[in-house]
Structures are given as structure tokens and as C-alpha cells.
Amino acid sequence: MNSFSEKLTPHLKKLIENGSNAISRQFIAGELKSTPERNFISHDPLKEDNFIPVRGIVHKYSNRVLWKLSYECAAHCQFCTRRRQVGSKSGDLTKKDIKAGLEYILNHKEIEEVILSGGDPLFNPKVLNYALEGLIKIDSIKSLRIGTRLPIHCPQMFDNPILIKTINIISKYSKELPIYMLIHINHPDELTRESVEVIKKLRNKGLILMSQTVFLKDINDNTEILDKLFREIYFLGVIPYYIFRCDYVKGLESFVCDIKKEQEIMTELTKKLSGIAVPTHVFDVPGKGKIPIPLNFWKKIDLSRCSDFEDKEVLI
């Protein structure tokens, strides 16, 4: 039995009580849907579990690794790509696992960047501290990323002394190498006064802030909503990095948007927004590579198939 259940924070509950449809659709568990003929057959369509040299590390691209420090998050996004893992204690890395991970990174000089992920690494600041302490000593590491959704799930946690200490350590390290904090934000309703305050605080700590968004059917697949979202994000000093086509995870079909509609929205946004405020629209194909989805300015593009990084054809 999968441990991925419904999990909300008081902060998110309040937003739902105040009538946010976008929040309730993202966090209240609904019916899972899969039609096998549409490729929604795998719990791990990105095949992450095929690229694990050491517990916690996903080494899919040669110069950078993803390091999952734990599988826990403050709340559970129902469309989570890693719902096969998230919510389980079994992903918490021990000191021994972290040592093994650091050794792997140290011994693979081609790795220049580590992307700390999970779960949510900020939800487990002790493990994060320990990993950071080791990473900062490795000369071949030129930049770090930290993927989080905690400022949205639970901005109140940033008053917690352990997390404050971690943020200060991250801030100190960011003087030595660039640390990119990637905040997962999907809808303007998520940018509450409390979350905005946390984002402003993080910006004043010297981190480079970027955002990631997932296209979600009937939640944000709308030009006005995304226009507002990216404008607000950009004017907070956060650079929208990627907007993902929702991964084809078994059960998640009802979250996946029409690709043509996604393309049209991104094309409209390109006409309206500052260049820096328009994220790259990608699909993480079930082979290897986040493949950019072309805009609608070019004629006769077939959105039903593409090639992955290894030039293998993938049906969309």
C-alpha cells in the first residue's frame, strides 16, 4: 500500500476554507484515473529508479545529479510525480547514506552541480545541513540547487529556529558558490501575504530564486491565470524557470492538459510578458531529457511526437 495520502497544512486548509478552488484541487485527494492506451501506465515514467548509483542519488545527466534527501513534504500535492515515494519515512537518508552520496559525488569529477530534492529538503533541515556541510567542501561542485515548496505549503515554518539556522548556513555558502532556490508555485492563490514575506526574506539572503510550475488541467491552464502568476513571481525577484507538462504518472490523467492548449497559452504569454518572466515549457519525456515544447510561431509542428536526448522517438 502506498503511503501517499492526503496531507495538508493549517495554512493550506485556511486557503481552502476561504474558497480557493485552485488549492483544493491540488491538495484534496480525488479519484485517480488512468487509461492505459494513453501511456499512463508507470508509477515512474521518468525512469528515475533506473539511474540510482547510490541510495538517494539520481544520476541521469552527466554533469549534474539529483539528490533526494528524504521523501517527506509538509503537504502532498496530489499530482506529485513521485507519489510512489513521497510520504514515506523510508526515503530519509541516514548519515551513512549521506557519506556514501558525498563520496560518489567526490569520485565523479564530471558532476558540477547537485540538485537537492526529495520530498522537500527544507522540510528536513537537519539532513539538509549535513549534506550541505559535505558538499561545500567538494571543489568540483560549482553550484547547488535546492528544490522546495515549503514557502507555499507552510510559510510559518520559516519561523522555526532549526530552519532559520539552515537558511543562514545556505546564505553563508551562497557567498562561495551560486545557490539557486527553486520554488514550486502553480497558482496566484499560492502567493499569500505570508508566502510572499518568506520569498522576500529568502531574496535578501543572497540566494538566487527561481520558480517551477506544473501545467494542471482546470487549475492553471488559462492565459489570464498564468499571466498573473508569472508577473507576480517576476516582480518578486523570482525568475520563472520551467513550466512542466504534467508527467504521465499512473493515476494522474485528470491533471494532464491538452498539449495544444498549453502551447497556445505559452505563445500568448510570450507576446505579453517580459522575456525573463516566461518560463521554458518542457515535457520530461519517459526516456531521457526535458524537451522544450515549441511555441506556435512556427508552422506544421507535430505535437504528437518528439525525439528524446538519445534521438529515440517518443509519443506524446
Ligand X SMILES: *Cc1c(COP(=O)(O)O)cnc(C)c1O
Phi/psi of residue 255, nearest 5 degrees: -90, -15
Minimum separation from the CB atom of position 190 to ligand SF4 (A): 12
64 makes contact with ligand X (CB under 6 A): yes
SS3 249: strand
Cell of 172: 553563508
- Kindly indicate which of the ranges 61-69, 102-110, 169-177, 222-230 contains the residues binding ligand X, using the contact rule CB under 6 A: 61-69
SS3 308: coil
From residue 172, alpha-carbon distances to 27, 199, 236, 239, 248 in Å are: 34, 17, 22, 22, 39
Q: Considering only residues 74-103, where is the footprint of ligand SF4 by CB under 6 A?
A: 76-77, 80, 82, 86
Burial 100-129 (b: 16+ CB within 10 A, else e): bbbebbbeeeebebbbbbbbbbbbbbebbe
* Cβ atoms within 10 Å, residue 65: 27
State the Rg of the chain over Cα: 19
**Which of ligand SF4, ligand X, none does residue 76 bind (CB under 5 to 8 Å by kind)?**
ligand SF4
Minimum separation from the CB atom of position 274 to ligand X (A): 21
Q: Of 22, 69, 73, 182, which one interacts with ligand SF4 (CB under 6 A)?
A: 73
From residue 316, alpha-carbon distances to 244, 280, 281, 289, 293 in Å are: 13, 18, 14, 14, 11
Q: Considering only residues 67-126, where is the footprint of ligand X by CB under 6 A?
A: 115
Q: Is the CB of 124 or the CB of 263 nearer to ligand SF4?
A: 124
Minimum separation from the CB atom of position 66 to ligand X (A): 4
Minimum separation from the CB atom of position 212 to ligand X (A): 9
Minimum separation from the CB atom of position 149 to ligand SF4 (A): 4
Binding mask 281-300 for ligand X (x = CB under 6 A): ---------x----------
Binding mask 6-45 for ligand X (x = CB under 6 A): ----------------------------------------
Q: State whether the Cα torsion 99-105-109-113 is positive or negative.
A: negative
58 makes contact with ligand X (CB under 6 A): yes
Q: Considering only residues 167-206, where is the footprint of ligand SF4 by CB under 6 A?
A: 184
Q: State whether the Cα torsion 203-77-128-57 is positive or negative.
A: negative
Interface residues toward ligand SF4, by CB under 6 A: 73, 76-77, 80, 82, 86, 118-120, 149, 184
Interface residues toward ligand X, by CB under 6 A: 58, 60-61, 64, 66, 115, 290
